[in-house]
């Protein structure tokens, strides 16, 4: 269920309809069903091991799928945490949140932070040092971070799985085998809310798989065309926040 918004271009929705057809076709494949069963087994094994953890949700495609999988397994009462960056939060993330929570009763909590008046100490060589500090703080409060990052997401993510496997001291990532095509197929067949960002594809100029729902205007996330994409689809919000974020 793609969330509606007024930022789409007419050609975006035509491309999205084609994507939906492909997603439904993919969901019928044996490979999808095999990887789904394997991923559910991986999650179940972790959740039944008495570990101290919370499930991170950004309300992007991967975390929505992860949240639905864990909710469907109905093992214990896991905590789901949305880490909000209030000053430059994507405006549609809370709409996806509301749509999901209206359908699924989960143990849910929000942790809010602010980039307003951010100092240079938040970043080091372009890396979000403060973000890692936040994750360390949350680990003390809620345990390890169960995350929806995927092995096929990028070379960096792949190396994370090669170096640490699915589980490190600070996190657990069950999507070692679940691919981006699997993610979109799962969203479609379960009629889950889909963030509008994934259909803002510039009439096919942007890859759906590469788009993110992270906070807008972040210096550390402006690569692979993201800065240009934000200027095209969110110019009003960038103008609004440009005087509130400093690096």
Among 29-38, 69-78, 117-126, the range scoring the smallest mean pLDDT is 117-126
Domain membership flag for residue 247: no
Domain membership flag for residue 2: no
User: What is the per-residue pLDDT for 177?
Assistant: 94
Give dist(CA 19, CA 181) in Å, integer: 10
User: What is the per-residue pLDDT for 86?
Assistant: 77
Q: Strand runs (DSSP E) across 116-204, as ranges?
A: 123-124, 127-128, 144-146, 171-172
Supply the CATH number for residue 179's domain.
3.40.50.620
Number of domains in the chain: 1
User: What is the per-residue pLDDT for 242?
Assistant: 74
207: left (phi over 0), alpha (psi -120 to 50) or beta: beta
Domain membership flag for residue 3: no
User: What is the per-residue pLDDT for 128?
Assistant: 58
Domain membership flag for residue 180: yes
If we measure between CA atoms, which residue out of 210, 213, 193 comes closest to residue 202?
A: 210
Give dist(CA 104, CA 98) in Å, integer: 10
pLDDT band at 217 (very low <50, low <70, confident <90, very high): confident
**pLDDT per residue over 118-163, tens digit each?**
544 555 555 556 667 787 888 889 999 999 988 887 777 777 777 7
Give dist(CA 210, CA 206) in Å, integer: 8
Domain membership flag for residue 246: no
Q: What is the mean pLDDT of the chain?
A: 87
Q: How many residues does the chain have?
A: 247
Domain membership flag for residue 118: yes
Give dist(CA 123, CA 131) in Å, integer: 9
- Give the DSSP letter of residue 202: G
Domain membership flag for residue 1: no
If we measure between CA atoms, which residue out of 220, 219, 223 comes closest to residue 211?
A: 223
Among 89-103, 143-157, 169-183, the range scoring the smallest mean pLDDT is 143-157
Q: Which burial class, exposed, middle or buried, applies to 69 when counting CB atoms under 10 A from its CB (0-12, 13-18, 19+)?
A: buried
Domain membership flag for residue 35: yes
Measured between alpha carbons, how far apart are the two ends of the chain, in Å? 36
Q: Put the strands of the sheet holding 79-85 in their side by side order.
A: 107-113, 79-85, 53-56, 144-146, 171-172
Beta-bridge partner residues of 81? 56, 109
If we measure between CA atoms, which residue out of 11, 43, 61, 26 comes closest to residue 210?
A: 61
Average of per-residue pLDDT across 56-84: 95
Q: 117 is in which domain, residue-wise?
A: 10-241
């Amino acid at each position: 269920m793609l969330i509606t918004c007024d930022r789409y271009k007419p050609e975006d929705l035509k491309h999205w309809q084609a994507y939906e057809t492909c997603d439904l076709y993919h969901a019928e494949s044996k490979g999808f069903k095999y990887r789904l069963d394997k991923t559910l087994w991986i999650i179940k094994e972790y959740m039944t091991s008495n570990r101290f953890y919370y499930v991170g949700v950004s309300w992007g495609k991967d975390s929505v799928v992860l949240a639905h999988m864990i909710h469907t397994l109905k093992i214990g009462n896991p905590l789901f945490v949305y880490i909000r960056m209030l000053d430059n939060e994507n405006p549609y993330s809370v709409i996806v949140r509301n749509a999901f929570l209206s359908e699924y009763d989960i143990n849910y909590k929000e942790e809010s932070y602010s980039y307003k008046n951010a100092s240079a100490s938040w970043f080091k060589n372009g890396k979000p040092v403060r973000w890692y500090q936040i994750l360390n703080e949350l680990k003390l409060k809620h345990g390890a971070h169960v995350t929806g990052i995927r092995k096929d997401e990028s070379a960096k993510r792949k190396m994370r799985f090669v170096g640490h496997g699915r589980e490190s001291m600070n996190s657990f990532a069950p999507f070692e085998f679940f691919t981006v095509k699997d993610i979109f197929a799962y969203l479609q067949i379960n009629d889950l809310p889909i963030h509008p960002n994934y259909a803002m594809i510039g009439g096919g100029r942007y890859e759906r798989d590469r788009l993110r729902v992270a906070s807008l205007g972040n210096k550390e996330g402006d690569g692979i065309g993201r800065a240009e994409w934000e200027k095209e689809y969110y110019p009003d919000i960038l103008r609004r926040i440009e005087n509130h974020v400093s690096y």
